[in-house]
Amino acid sequence: MKYLPIGKDLFTTNRDKLKGKLKPNSVAIFNSNDIMPTNADGTMPFRQNNNLLYLSGIDQEESILIIAPDFPDPKLREVLFVKETSELIAIWEGHKYTKDEATETSGVATVMWTSDFEKTLLTILAESENIYLDSNEHIRSGSDVETRNQRFSKWCREQYPNYEYERIAPIIYDLRTVKELKEIELLRHACAITEKGFRKVLEMVKPGVWEYEVEAEYTYEFLKNRSRGFGYEPIVAGGANACVLHYVENNQQLKDGDLLLMDVGAEYANYNADMTRVIPINGRFNERQRAVYDAVLRVKNEATALLTPGNSIPEYHKEVGLIMQNELLGLGLIDQTDIKNENPDWPAFKKYFMHGTSHHLGLDVHDVASIYTKFKPGMVFTVEPGIYIPDEGIGIRLEDDVVIQEGGHDNLMGNIPILAEEIEDLMNS
């Protein structure tokens, strides 16, 4: 890992919160992610299962966590299993956790090798009634690849068919929505790294630069500051490319008079920033670009004010839609006839603003939570309205990461330039 140690207190706190949500005489089991293959003998970079990471801080493959709060022997109420290393592994792959290091990272006192998992589980289940299994229940999940959790679920149900099985995802997802102060600190750090990249980009963007050169500038700055890199596939979109919401080719040359939309975010310690900024490639917005830019910024500011305890995403998005509708009327992009004749399931404003305004942010960029969960202090959301006008080659989205607080907000990207005047000044200084 490139990032500095987080400290075990966060993970101890997270496990304690989870224990209070489990039924009596229960066991909850969490597996690491697999190392995924590419081709031949190649593999993708390892990315830990976020639920396991949330509860242990262990950022290594072939790791398992058992939580059994009511087991008679206190030593087996929390057991962490890590991969046993060897001289050969050390030569080819490098250092792996020792048992002491795993305890220091996680706060779990009992650490065993992964090879001891099955016999230890048998011991613990002899005194248990319920088994909580982990699974990916994100509403956008859709993978053809069988995960380690899915394989384990099949194995466990076959080996222990007479237990009551429970879903852990709704419980841990609910816990993960409200961040601990240490988690907000890590998110703030990811945002600060993102800011460094953005400020560097403001110095180098000009007509003739290529989108991939801008991406490279972010990559350099992120890695230099202990980030693993981008938290998600970066969008660096010049001109009309910005009207493609998930444009990731980043292979076109930037043209004089166009805008550059950048949806990028650094990852730090597995926590993710998610920023979008739009800048004029030649350093100056023209009148039309500025009008659309300011309209999006007004929507973003008003949307942020609606992120208040007790609201929820469906109601929030409806309110933001009405704010955007008013701005689109002012820009002459829609008129009252469009609104009168609109399909209620696809309002008139959706022609130019077709995506949601906010999503949860944390260990996942689109962090886990039901969209119907009421907003609470400590939740972290993106705020990212946009207006896309393909006929004019204009696509503008502005995005900050915001913590809901009692009576206000903490904008984790408050130091990242967003006012049009400030961006122009920095690009021409």
**Domains of the chain with bracketed CATH:** 9-176 (3.40.350.10), 181-427 (3.90.230.10)
What pLDDT does 294 receive?
98
Q: With a cut of 70, which residues of the chain have pLDDT below it? A: none
Single out the catalytic residue among 134, 183, 217, 399. 399
**What is the distance between the alpha carbons of residues 51 and 56, in angstroms, rounded to a whole number?**
9
**What is the distance between the alpha carbons of residues 79 and 391, in angstroms, rounded to a whole number?**
59
Instruction: Please give the angle made by the CA atoms of 111, 115 and 119, to the nearest 5 degrees.
Output: 85
What pLDDT does 107 receive?
98
**What is the distance between the alpha carbons of residues 94 and 101, in angstroms, rounded to a whole number?**
15
What pLDDT does 1 receive?
86
**What is the distance between the alpha carbons of residues 60 and 64, in angstroms, rounded to a whole number?**
10
Q: Is 317 a catalytic residue?
A: no
What pLDDT does 144 receive?
80
**What is the distance between the alpha carbons of residues 348 and 335, in angstroms, rounded to a whole number?**
9
Q: Is 246 a catalytic residue?
A: yes
Single out the catalytic residue among 195, 258, 388, 409. 388
**What is the distance between the alpha carbons of residues 52 and 138, in angstroms, rounded to a whole number?**
16
Single out the catalytic residue among 9, 246, 256, 288. 246
Q: Is 138 a catalytic residue?
A: no
What pLDDT does 118 receive?
97
**What is the distance between the alpha carbons of residues 300 and 293, in angstroms, rounded to a whole number?**
11
CA pseudo-torsion sign 133, 134, 140, 145: negative
40 Cβ neighbours under 8 A, 6+ residues apart:
none
Single out the catalytic residue among 211, 302, 384, 424. 384
What pLDDT does 15 receive?
98
Other CB atoms within a 10 A radius of the CB of residue 25 amount to 14
* Buried-exposed string 345-360: b where 16+ CB fall within 10 A, e elsewhere: eebbbeebbeeebbbb
What pLDDT does 85 receive?
87
Comparing C-alpha atoms, which of 173, 179, 165, 176 is closest to residue 138?
A: 173
Q: Is 263 a catalytic residue?
A: yes
Q: Is 399 a catalytic residue?
A: yes
**What is the distance between the alpha carbons of residues 390 and 242, in angstroms, rounded to a whole number?**
9
Amino acid identity at 51? N
**pTM, 2 dp:** 0.96
Q: Is 359 a catalytic residue?
A: yes
What pLDDT does 335 receive?
96
Q: Is 355 a catalytic residue?
A: yes
Convert the pLDDT of each residue in 352-409 to its tens digit: 999 999 999 999 999 999 899 999 999 999 999 999 999 999 999 999 999 999 989 9
**What is the distance between the alpha carbons of residues 132 and 168, in angstroms, rounded to a whole number?**
5
Q: Is 256 a catalytic residue?
A: no
Single out the catalytic residue among 15, 176, 360, 397. 397
Single out the catalytic residue among 188, 359, 360, 409. 359
